[in-house]
Amino acid sequence: MSKLHLAIPIMLLLAPLASQAAPSAKDIETSCKNASTRSVTYSMCLDEKLKTTQTSYDAWIQSREIELEKVAKDTGRESIIYEFKKSNDFYKQFIESQCRRVFFENQSKGNAADRYRVCKIRQMLSRIEQMEQEAE
């Protein structure tokens, strides 16, 4: 079976995740603050939100990749998928570097790990929004 043929069932599973409207990072942060009376609970909430955001982000990447593989197959332009994968690799590095900087910047304030989590959520939501716009 071809990679595209195997990807179609995966795409059907991921489509609901990729098509859901993403909450804003501010909404996520506020919901965790409102639901948490202690900093430990707040951190745990952010961990869960980060996992959910990561799943949605991965679904968007997978879904877009499948769409672009179909375009590449139909047009014969393999560079479409190559450049998409390359840009995602660079974006992943950017997110990590950007959020590490935020972590180190906030180390003396005592909330570095939470700021790191919020940064990753923001960056992934930003990328999802960008992919939504590019898919239109």
pLDDT at 36: 66
Count of helices and strands (H, E) across the chain: 5, 0
Is the pTM value of this prediction over 0.85? Answer: no
Minimum mean pLDDT range among 3-17, 37-51, 58-72: 3-17
pLDDT at 81: 93
Contact 3, 109 (CB under 8 A): no
What is the secondary structure of 21-49 as a DSSP string?
A: PPPPHHHHHHHHHHH-SSHHHHHHHHHHH
User: Model confidence over 109-118: pLDDT tens digits?
Assistant: 988 999 999 9
Average pLDDT over residues 6-35: 58
- Is pLDDT at 95 greater than 50 in this prediction? yes
More confident residue, 16 or 57: 57
pLDDT at 34: 75
